[in-house]
Amino acid sequence: MVFDYKAVFENGTRKSHPDVAQVLHTLDQQGVVWVLLTTGRVDAAAHCTAAGLPQPALSLCQDDIPERKPRGSGLWLDEVADRLGLRKAEMVIVGTTEWDYRTGLNGKVLHIHARWASALGTSIESLAADDPAHLYWLLDRHLLHEPEWLFALDDPARRFRVRSLFQPDETFPGTRPTRFDLKTIFTYDQQVEVGDRSARDVLMTHLLCSAYLDDSLPSRAWFCVYPSSTPGKVNDQLAEFLKVARVMACGYYKDDLLVRATPAIDTSRARAGGRHSEVTIATQANTVHLNPDHRRTLKGKTVIVFDDFTTQGMSLDWARNLLTAAGAKEVIGVTIGKYRKPYTFFTPRLGVTIDPYATNSLTPADFTTEQHISAFGTGPVQLVRDTMAMYVAGETGLPAATAPVPTGLSVDEAGTG
């Protein structure tokens, strides 16, 4: 945990913000170390002792940064990673200014805005915590666990990976309604509340944090959402969160990269209605292509394609075919749900060519198929189910302290922010 000074201490003082001491002591008991960033050099040990805080593992000021680069440079987080021997996915920065936000962005480290200490411009997209208790909740529920996937596929030869969290018919407790499955939100577009939160927001936060923790979101990646069955539309349930995903990976959201050129059947609804014969690879191959506006810039890029669910993988694999044909370096599919069926690779037969930037006219017979047999895990279903239940019960505060939290002294000292 990398903290800007003003996220810990009240402005111009050695007094910590309410509840910060309890959060840091609780994290310390869980083996989480923290780092303090300041512009000018301070006696971090004395400041933390005065405020009753555990000692930081590291305190850095501008003099410690190569070339004395100011805040905003990713070198601040490079220095933290080097000194503590950490991967970037093992770090989070908690900041108060746009420069902290840019430090995270340029350092490829997840940024959380400390709303209790400052406001940020509305144009900045970031995860945010309303107070220290909310910060601890984000960490405890979404970031202090090894990432768990229901389904994970890695195929270096095809330059392709897939990550999925849950079975689509997995059920969770809610407030309104009292029980729901994933299709309620992502297929039928219904609002589901868990306590004072949106269930969709909780699910998407867990998806993005899981991808961040296992390095599935590489730096400088392009992000897009697989288009809905209606031309000109994307899944808004997913698209809204890709601006935040950009911050996690210092990437670029391309909302127009994949184009649905002509209407197609809604494959989720078709399967739900028993019309399985209507769902073929041709459904995707003849209606989706890449936007020609990206022809000059796509080559060599890593592209992450978000979708709600995948069954056999027709949508994701057609995206893989288009993007690799256009010269993408790697394609990563990330979905909320994966049905318990083998992932199928659909490869154009020898002599069949596809134009990635125009509508194609293909039949299922134009593809060979190869199933990827992979063991399914349990995924994070119990963790997220417990999280939803805690939201419903209103149990989202700080845990009871397992050890006394010292009461700090309040000693004014200006100029330490």
Residue range 69-105, pLDDT digits in tens: 999 999 999 999 999 999 999 999 999 999 999 999 8
Are the CB atoms for 318 and 281 separated by under 8 Å? yes
For position 415, what pLDDT does the model report?
Answer: 36
Q: Are residues 127 and 164 in the same domain?
A: no
Distances (CA, A) of 365 to 262, 349, 357, 370: 21, 8, 22, 14
CB neighbour list of residue 87: distance below 8 Å, 6 or more residues apart: 81, 215
Which is nearest to 18 in space by CA: 44, 52, 59, 45? 52
Give the range with max mean pLDDT: 50-54, 263-267, 406-410, 412-416. 50-54
| Domain end point (choices 143, 159, 174) | 143
As a whole number of angstroms, the distance between CA 309 and CA 289 comes to 20
- The three-state secondary structure class of 118 is coil
Task: Report H helices in 177-223.
Answer: 182-186, 199-213
Give the pTM: 0.90
- For residue 380, being part of any structural domain is answered with no
For position 347, what pLDDT does the model report?
Answer: 96
Mean pLDDT, range 223-243, rounded to an integer: 78
Q: Give ∠ CA 42-48-51 in degrees, rounded to 5.
A: 125
- For residue 110, being part of any structural domain is answered with yes
- The three-state secondary structure class of 166 is strand
Q: Are residues 79 and 211 in the same domain?
A: no
- For residue 400, being part of any structural domain is answered with no
- For residue 347, being part of any structural domain is answered with yes
- For residue 27, being part of any structural domain is answered with yes
Q: Are residues 281 and 212 in the same domain?
A: yes
- For residue 317, being part of any structural domain is answered with yes
CATH number at residue 195: 3.40.50
Which tens digits make up the pLDDT trace of 309-365?
Answer: 999 999 999 999 999 999 999 999 999 999 999 999 999 999 999 999 999 999 999
Q: Does 239 score more than 80 pLDDT?
A: no
Q: Are residues 243 and 301 in the same domain?
A: yes
Structural domain harbouring 68: 2-143
| Domain end point (choices 92, 124, 143) | 143
Which of 96-110, 181-195, 201-215, 271-285 is the least confident region?
Answer: 271-285
Q: Are residues 218 and 297 in the same domain?
A: yes
94 token code pair: 């908690």
* Per-residue pLDDT band at 412 (split at 50, 70, 90): very low
Q: Are residues 136 and 170 in the same domain?
A: no
- For residue 129, being part of any structural domain is answered with yes
Q: Are residues 93 and 194 in the same domain?
A: no
Structurally, the chain folds into a number of domains equal to 2
- For residue 378, being part of any structural domain is answered with no
Q: Are residues 168 and 95 in the same domain?
A: no
